[in-house]
Structure 1
Amino acid sequence: MRPFVFTQAQNQEQALAAAAANETAKYLGGGTNLIDLMKEDVERPSELIEVAGLGFQEIKSNQNGGYTLGAMLSNADTANHPDIRRHYPLLSMAMLSAATAQIRNMATNGGNLLQRTRCPYFYETSMPCNKREPGSGCGARNGMNALHAIFGWNEQCVAVNPSDMCVALAAIGAKVQVQRVNGTTRTIDFSDFHRLPGDQPEADNTLQPNELITAIELPKPAFSKHYYYLKIRERSSYAFALISVAAGLQIENGTIVRAGLAMGGVAHKPWKLTRAEEFLTGKLPQTKNFEQAAELAMREARPLEDNEYKVEMGKKAIVRALTQAYEKNA
C-alpha cells in the first residue's frame, strides 16, 4: 500500500472542502472495498477523508410516504432495521445475501453504491484494463469473460457491477441524495446513478467531483408482500452473483398492478427490466406470463465468447424469482 494522508473530517463541510482541495483524495466510509483496492495497488489516493462519523446514520420516514436511509449507516443495521424488514423486505433480503456478516457490519450504504467491479483484469495491474488505466484496452473482451456482461457492454469494457443492494434499489426505484461543495444538494434517480461504459469506462457513476452521498431515498412501499431476491453464485457464501434477480409484485384483486424487476451480474450497472415490468402490469401472476416477461427481458442480451450460458440462466432466474415472489403471502 502506498503512503497517504488520513483526514478525519469533523463535519460534512470540512470533508467536502478537503476533497475539493485534493483531486486524488477519496472519501472513506467502511473501507471494505477501497482498502482492498489500495492493497492491490489498483486505487492510489494520496489522501483518505474519513466520513463515517459525520452522521447520516438514521432511517426515517420521508414526505413521499417512503423512508430515507442514511448513507453512513452500515449494511447490517439497514437490512435488519424493523421498518426496512417490514416495508422493504426485498431490499433486506438482497443486502443479507451479500458478502459475510463481518463485512456487512462495516460496509456503509453509500459505500455500497460506489463499490467497484470484481473483474480479475481490473484487479491484476499487469493486465490491460480501461477502467483502471484508460486507454490500455480491455483484457476481458477477448480473454476469460465467463463472469462478464451480456447487456450494455462495448469494446471499452465488459465488466459487471457487483452489488446486491443496488439490484434491489433499482427494482424498488430509489433515489440518491448528494451534497455539493458549494452547499447545494441534488437528487439522482437510481436508474441514472450508475452508468454504462460508453467512452468513459473508468467512470462507474454520474457523481460529480467531490460530491458526497448523504442518503438513499426509498419510495412508498409497494412490494412488502410479494418479493424475492434470487442470487445464483458458484458457492453459497462470500461469492458475487453470476446472475441475480430482484423481483417485486404489487397484486390487487388477483392482478399485477405494478412490477419491479432488476438483474445483477449482467451489466456495468444494475440492469432494470423495464419492458418486462410493463408487460406484467395488468397481467395475472401466472407462469406463462412470467415466461413471456423473461423472454422480453433477455431479448437484447449480447453474450460474449464464454458467457452465453447467462442468457438461458437469466430467463430461468427471472421466472423463478417472479414465481417465488408471487407465492410469498399468496
Structure 2
Amino acid sequence: MQPFSYVRPASAADAVGAFAAAGSGARFIAGGTTLYDLMKLRIEQPGHLIDVTAIRGLDVIETGGDRLRFGALAPMSAVAADPVVLRDYPVLAEALTKAASQQLRNMATVGGNLLQRTRCMYFRNGAGSTSTVGVYPCNKRAPGSGCAAIGGLDRGQAVLGTSASCTAVSPGDWPVALTAMDATIEVLGPAGTRTLPIAELYRLPGDTPHLEFTLAPGEMITAITVPKTPAGRRSTYHKIRDRESYAFALASAAVALEMAGERVTIARIALGGMATKPWRAHEAEQAVIGQALTPETALAAGRIALKGASPGKSNGFKVELGARTVADALLIASARNRA
C-alpha cells in the first residue's frame, strides 16, 4: 500500500497553501470517483491528499444574470437537475446525465469531472508503475516508452488529434458540452486567480502525451461559467456507446443552434469519444450557417467535422459513426423549442 497524508482545509486559499507546502506529490481530491481508481492502478501515487470538500461556497449553482456559474464542488447530479439548466440548456443536463450512474453523479463534482484521464486500456494497465502490473508501453505513464495502442487493440482509440506518441481518447462528456458552449473556468493557484477558456485547459498529445492539462502545479479549478445564449434551448448532447447503461462514448456530439425560421444562423458543434481532447468542429459549424437542416445537409456537416480523421487498425468505423452522430445531433437540436 502506498502511504499518504491527508488534510481537509476550510478555504480555497488554505488548500492551495497546503499543496505548496506538500510539494509535487500532492493531489486535490473532491468526489474521488476518478482519483481513487487511478490510485488503485498505481497510475497516481500521491504522498499527500488535500480534500477540498469542506470549502464553503464552491458548490453554489448560479443561474441569474448573463451567465451560468457552477462552483467546482457542485455535484454533477445537482447541476443536471437544476430547473434552468434542464429548461434552457439541455446540452449541459444531458451531458451530465449520460455520463455516469446516479450514484456516481451524486459523488462526482463538475470541477473534478473536467480532469478525468483517459480510459485507454494500455494507459490503465501500462508502463510506469512501480508494481508488476504495468506490462504495456504507454507514453502517458512512462514518457518515451512507446504506445502499445498504435498497431494494437485500438477500437476505442481516437481518430482526431492523435500523434505518433499517443492515440488515447479523451473520456469526458461534460467537457464536450462545455466546449460547445464556450465555457470558461476559474482557477486559483499560488500565483493568484485566473480564468481561461475551457478549450485551453486541454493539450493535444504531440510528443508529450503525459502533459494533459494546462493547469500549473498547485492550481485548482474553483468554478465553471457558461455565457447565456438563445442557442441553449435548441441544443442536445447525443451519445453513442456500446451499451445504453453509462458506458463511455464511442462517438458523441454536443450541438446548440440559433435559427431564423428553418435556417441556421449560429451553430456550435463539439465532438466527444473520437478525439484526444474535447474537439470543436468550427468548419462544420460554418458549413450549416444559412442552411435548412435536412438529413442530407446535416450528414454533410458531420462528414466535414470528421475531415482529417486518422483511424488505426480497428477504429475506422468511428469516422462514419462520428459523422452520423453529428448529423443526428443537428437534427435533434433543430427540432427543439420550435414553439
Q: TM-score range by the shorter chain?
A: over 0.9
Instruction: Name the CA distance, whole Å, in 2 between partners of 1:285 and 1:313.
Output: 19
Q: Deviations over 1:239-263 (max 9, x none)?
A: 1011111111111233211111111
Determine the structure 1 residue equivalent to 2:169: 160
Report the equivalent of 2:129: none
With normalisation by structure 2, the TM-score equals 0.93
- Equivalents in 2 of 1:6, 1:126: separation in Å? 30
Percent identity of equivalent pairs: 41
Match of 1:170 in 2: 179
Tell me by how many angstroms 1:61 deviates.
Answer: 4.1
TM-score (norm 1): 0.96
Residue pairs, 1:178-197, within 5 angstroms: 178-182=187-191, 184-197=192-205
Residue in structure 2 matching 1:246, options 243, 247, 254: 254
2:164 touches 2:206 (CA, 8 Å); kept in 1? no
Aligned to 1:33: 34
Q: Which residue of 2 aligns with 1:143?
A: 152
* Cross-structure match for 1:278: 286
Aligned partner of 1:57 in structure 2 is 59
Specify the SS of the correspondent of 1:138. coil
The partner residue of 2:333 within 316, 322, 325 is: 325
Q: Which range is displaced more, 124-133 or 40-49?
A: 124-133
Of the structure 1 ranges 25-34 and 78-87, higher mean CA displacement relative to structure 2 is found in: 78-87
| More deviation, 113-122/13-22 | 13-22
Q: Does 1:306 align with 2:314?
A: yes
**In 2, are the aligned partners of 1:66 and 1:218 still within 8 Å (CA)?**
yes
Confirm whether residue 78 of structure 1 aligns to residue 87 of structure 2. Answer: no
Q: CA deviation at 1:221?
A: 2.5
Answer yes or no: is the 8 Å Cα contact 1:90–1:223 preserved in 2: no
Alignment deviations for residues 210-247 of structure 1 (CA, whole Å, 9 cap, x no partner): 11100001011333332222111111113101111111
Code of the aligned partner of 2:140: K
Query: Helix, strand or coil: the match of 1:173?
Result: coil
| Paired position in structure 2 for 1:69 | 70
Matches within 5 A, 1:282-297: 282-297=290-305
Counterparts of 2:29 and 2:207, CA distance in 1: 27
Q: Does 252-261 or 158-167 show the bigger shift?
A: 252-261
Pick from 129, 133, 144 the counterpart of residue 138 of structure 2: 129
Runs of 4+ aligned structure 1 residues displaced above 6 Å come to none
Return the offset for 1:314: 1.0
Count of residue pairs the alignment pairs up: 328
The one-letter amino acid paired with 2:94 is M
The Cα shift of 1:70 comes to: 0.5
**1:17: how far off?**
1.1
**What is the aligned partner in structure 2 of residue 3 from structure 1?**
3
Q: How far apart in 2 are the matches of 1:80 and 1:60?
A: 13
| Letter in structure 1 aligned against 2:119 | R
Distance in 2 (CA, whole Å) between partners of 1:293 and 1:95 is: 25
Instruction: Answer yes or no: is the 8 Å Cα contact 2:253–2:326 preserved in 1.
Output: yes
* Residue 92 (structure 1) aligns with: 93
User: Which of the residues 257, 262, 285 maps onto 2:265?
Assistant: 257
Cα distance, 1:187 vs. partner? 0.9
Q: Which letter does structure 2 place at the counterpart of 1:131?
A: K
CA distance in 1, matches of 2:337, 2:223: 31
Structure 1: runs of 5 or more not aligned:
none
Query: d(CA) in 1 for partners of 2:264 and 2:61?
Result: 29
Partner of 1:223, secondary structure, is helix
Aligned equivalents of 1:74, 1:46: Cα separation in 2? 26
Task: Compare 320-329 and 240-249 and name the one that shifted more.
Answer: 320-329
Moved more, 78-87 or 220-229: 220-229
Equivalent residue number for residue 209 of structure 1:
217
